[in-house]
């Protein structure tokens, strides 16, 4: 018999990163009873990894900047398949988000006159990224947690939500495993918000931590029949660490290049001259990632499959002030002083542009009473994400979605919990515990991640993706043995992760196969050109309650006129060294 607990709240937010917490604050400020659940501890969501900055067209350094130019940059970088309404909302509301964070106590780097300093990020026309050294994410999350505590917002950490509950097609709760105490929790709510983050851990080399970003939110939404958009669009960040083993994938922030970092191959060539002579190291992430990939593939990479990133021309005092986390990271793992030695780097899976389809004007998914915010959603970033835009997204859409839920709540009734469904979900968990034979789920998870990295990674083609799909289909049938403990059982958690990964992987591969072109982050060696015909969004529509899915395409909505005219404006000359 499993130990059980029941929780009830008007709104249940699954995810305690930037997006989840910002929405919770908005709800609480409007008198809503809200409960936030996270897989990790309170101050430990993936958001803390954010390093370089948060974008807003404040115009502090470059007065010519405007929200419209920010929007145009976002759409150009997204290769014209972004949801333009989402982009407009983000860029118009981002300055307000910065002010709010500053008022709450985020200690942004400031100029002598007290204005917030802004720096370049790749593919941005003007300096737009506001920062706190190179640890903006930690600072933002800490402040949000402080604000949530001040408001006495209910929080449950170390709980793995493994299923949503529904009544006649409307979501009304969730079931989770409190793995610290070894008990099942049944959550009853009028509205559920998915703020579960991205799915970069579907790939072997990822900038997230090993227990995060498995695509849980995608599977939870899939299971209740939500629609998905542009799942093939996945951002590979050009620069992650390549060694030691425990640090592989750990991000080397774009801010290093923003501060003037130079990329060279083992022949000492500054190779970005060949790939984007104008923007060089500050080109878009997809171009820089493929450039590094090509240099390595063609034999000009290091033995560990990387290239060199050099910031040694900057004084140590400058590096310690502007890139303190990077300095510590290389000292900690490798005893490398980046003010004197080069960094060895290679691309890593970094950001999920594709995800749950939401109507960004309401935050609603295609399933009743289910909302989604943050990296788990799609549309905002199109085919590629501008660095600094996702923290802005969590703040802006956290607030806006909170406001929309406040309005919606008046129309939503309490729906009874389906005891039969809860029993079924518990049985699923029970059967995992009972398995006497099977493979180690931790190993299986790694094997799937390897397949995705090799065949559906930085560079793709039909042959590789066919192979990946075949392997994923095979792995679905593999029996897993996780041991019979409910409490602190890493194998059980990995088994839940594996179960969550299949549909995300399958949607990514099938959408990537369908998109017969290269566009932004999606690069195919068998279709190298971008095709006007494919200026579309690819939509996955699950069959009733998660039994397979069909794929279709939708026309990208019209870009508002005020932004459209700026799409033709050429970017100003980027100042590599400020």
Ligand X SMILES: Cc1cc2nc3c(=O)[nH]c(=O)nc-3n(C[C@H](O)[C@H](O)[C@H](O)COP(=O)(O)OP(=O)(O)OC[C@H]3O[C@@H](n4cnc5c(N)ncnc54)[C@H](O)[C@@H]3O)c2cc1C
Residue 21 Cβ vs ligand X, minimum distance, rounded to whole Å? 8
Of 159 and 417, nearer to ligand X (C-beta) is: 159
Tell me which of 60, 74, 207, 239 binds ligand X, using CB under 6 A. 207
Taking CB under 6 A as the rule, does residue 15 contact ligand X? yes
Alpha-carbon distance 351 to 520, whole Å? 13
Tell me, yes or no, if 460 is annotated catalytic: no
Stretch that binds ligand X, among 43-51, 100-108, 441-449, 456-464 (CB under 6 A): 43-51
Task: Identify the active-site residue in 46, 119, 205, 237.
Answer: 237
Task: Identify the active-site residue in 46, 119, 205, 257.
Answer: 257
Alpha-carbon distance 449 to 107, whole Å? 38
List the alpha helices (DSSP H) in 78-156. Answer: 84-104, 136-150
Name the token pair of 394.
């969590």
Rg (CA), the chain: 23
Residue with tokens 């970092």: 261
Tell me which of 9, 11, 13, 46 binds ligand X, using CB under 6 A. 46
Q: List the x/- string, 317-356, binding to ligand X by CB under 6 A.
A: ----------------------------------x-----
Residue 65 Cβ vs ligand X, minimum distance, rounded to whole Å? 17
Q: List the x/- string, 158-197, binding to ligand X by CB under 6 A.
A: -xxx---------------------------------xxx
Alpha-carbon distance 458 to 347, whole Å? 8
Q: List the x/- string, 210-239, binding to ligand X by CB under 6 A.
A: ------xx----------------------
Of 465 and 498, nearer to ligand X (C-beta) is: 498
Please, is 228 exposed, middle or buried when counting C-beta atoms within 10 Å of its C-beta (0-12, 13-18, 19+)? buried
Taking CB under 6 A as the rule, does residue 40 contact ligand X? yes
Tell me which of 12, 53, 322, 360 binds ligand X, using CB under 6 A. 53
Stretch that binds ligand X, among 111-119, 382-390, 524-532, 558-566 (CB under 6 A): 382-390
Alpha-carbon distance 437 to 371, whole Å? 39
Residue 181 Cβ vs ligand X, minimum distance, rounded to whole Å? 15
Stretch that binds ligand X, among 50-58, 409-417, 516-524, 549-557 (CB under 6 A): 50-58
Name the token pair of 456.
């559906």
Q: Helices 462-476 & 490-514, crossing angle to 10 degrees? A: 140
Alpha-carbon distance 526 to 411, whole Å? 50
Alpha-carbon distance 254 to 426, whole Å? 44
Residue with tokens 């130079």: 262
CA distances from 294 to 265, 274, 305, 346, 401 (A): 11, 11, 11, 11, 41
Taking CB under 6 A as the rule, does residue 142 contact ligand X? no
Q: Which helix (H) or strand (E) holds 4?
A: strand 4-14
Tell me which of 7, 394, 449, 504 binds ligand X, using CB under 6 A. 394
Residue 209 Cβ vs ligand X, minimum distance, rounded to whole Å? 8
Contact 494, 442 (CB under 8 A): yes
Taking CB under 6 A as the rule, does residue 258 contact ligand X? no
Alpha-carbon distance 145 to 147, whole Å? 5
Tell me, yes or no, if 463 is annotated catalytic: no
Q: Closest by alpha carbon to 263, among 520, 576, 5, 519?
A: 576
Contact 350, 251 (CB under 8 A): yes
Tell me which of 191, 391, 486, 559 binds ligand X, using CB under 6 A. 391
Taking CB under 6 A as the rule, does residue 133 contact ligand X? no
Contact 444, 500 (CB under 8 A): no
Contact 153, 34 (CB under 8 A): yes
Taking CB under 6 A as the rule, does residue 38 contact ligand X? yes
Residue 212 Cβ vs ligand X, minimum distance, rounded to whole Å? 6
Taking CB under 6 A as the rule, does residue 45 contact ligand X? yes
Residue 156 Cβ vs ligand X, minimum distance, rounded to whole Å? 9
Stretch that binds ligand X, among 101-109, 390-398, 463-471, 517-525 (CB under 6 A): 390-398
Contact residues for ligand X (CB under 6 A)? Answer: 14-20, 37-40, 45-47, 49-54, 136-137, 159-161, 195-197, 207-208, 216-217, 251, 351, 374-375, 387-391, 394
**Catalytic annotation, residues:** 237, 257
């Amino acid at each position: 018999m499993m130990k059980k607990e029941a929780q009830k709240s008007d709104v249940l937010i699954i995810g305690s990163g930037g997006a989840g917490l910002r929405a919770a604050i908005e709800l609480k400020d409007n008198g809503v009873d809200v409960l936030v659940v996270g897989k990790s501890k309170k101050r430990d969501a993936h958001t803390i990894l954010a390093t370089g900055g948060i974008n807003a067209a404040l115009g502090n350094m470059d007065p010519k900047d405007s929200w419209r130019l920010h929007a145009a940059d976002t759409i150009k970088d997204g290769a014209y398949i972004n949801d333009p309404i989402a982009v407009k909302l983000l860029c118009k509301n981002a300055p307000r988000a910065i002010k709010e964070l500053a008022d709450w106590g985020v200690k942004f780097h400031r100029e002598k006159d007290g204005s917030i300093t802004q720096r370049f990020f790749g593919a941005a026309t003007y300096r737009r990224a506001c920062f706190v050294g190179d640890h903006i994410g930690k600072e933002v999350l800490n402040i949000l947690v402080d604000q949530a505590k001040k408001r006495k917002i209910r929080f449950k950490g170390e709980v793995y939500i493994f299923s949503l509950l529904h009544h006649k097609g409307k979501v009304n709760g969730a079931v989770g495993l409190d793995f610290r105490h070894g008990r099942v929790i049944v959550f009853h709510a009028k509205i559920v918000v998915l703020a579960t983050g991205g799915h970069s851990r579907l790939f072997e080399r990822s900038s997230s931590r090993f227990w995060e970003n498995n695509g849980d939110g995608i599977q939870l939404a899939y299971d209740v029949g939500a629609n998905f958009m542009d799942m093939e669009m996945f951002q590979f960040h050009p620069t992650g660490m390549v060694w030691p083993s425990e640090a592989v994938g750990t991000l080397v922030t774009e801010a290093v290049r923003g501060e003037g970092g130079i990329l060279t191959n083992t022949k000492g060539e500054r190779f970005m001259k060949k790939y984007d002579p104008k923007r060089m190291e500050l080109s878009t992430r997809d171009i820089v990632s493929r450039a590094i990939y090509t240099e390595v593939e063609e034999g000009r990479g290091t033995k560990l499959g990387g290239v060199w990133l050099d910031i040694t021309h900057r004084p140590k005092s400058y590096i310690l002030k502007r890139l303190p986390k990077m300095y510590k990271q290389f000292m900690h793992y490798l005893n490398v002083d980046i003010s004197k030695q080069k960094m060895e780097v290679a691309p890593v899976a970094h950001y999920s542009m594709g995800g749950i389809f939401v109507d960004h004007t309401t935050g609603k998914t295609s399933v009743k009473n289910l909302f989604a915010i943050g990296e788990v959603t799609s549309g905002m970033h199109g085919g590629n994400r501008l660095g600094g835009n996702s923290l802005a997204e969590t703040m802006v859409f956290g607030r806006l979605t909170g406001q929309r839920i406040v309005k919606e709540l008046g129309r939503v009734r309490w729906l009874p919990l389906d005891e039969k469904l809860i029993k079924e979900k518990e049985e699923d968990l029970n059967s995992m515990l009972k398995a006497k034979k099977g493979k180690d789920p931790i190993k299986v998870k790694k094997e799937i991640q390897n397949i995705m990295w090799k065949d559906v990674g930085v560079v793709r083609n039909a042959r590789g993706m066919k192979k990946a799909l075949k392997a994923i289909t095979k792995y679905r049938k593999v029996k897993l043995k996780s041991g019979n403990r409910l409490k602190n059982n890493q194998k059980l958690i990995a088994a839940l992760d594996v179960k969550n990964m299949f549909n995300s992987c399958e949607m990514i591969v099938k959408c990537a196969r369908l998109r017969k072109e290269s566009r932004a982050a999606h690069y195919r060696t068998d279709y190298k050109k971008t095709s006007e015909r494919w200026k579309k969004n690819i939509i996955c529509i699950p069959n009733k309650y998660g039994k397979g899915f069909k794929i279709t395409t939708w026309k990208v909505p019209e870009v508002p006129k005020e932004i459209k005219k700026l799409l033709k404006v050429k970017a100003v000359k980027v100042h590599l060294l400020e």
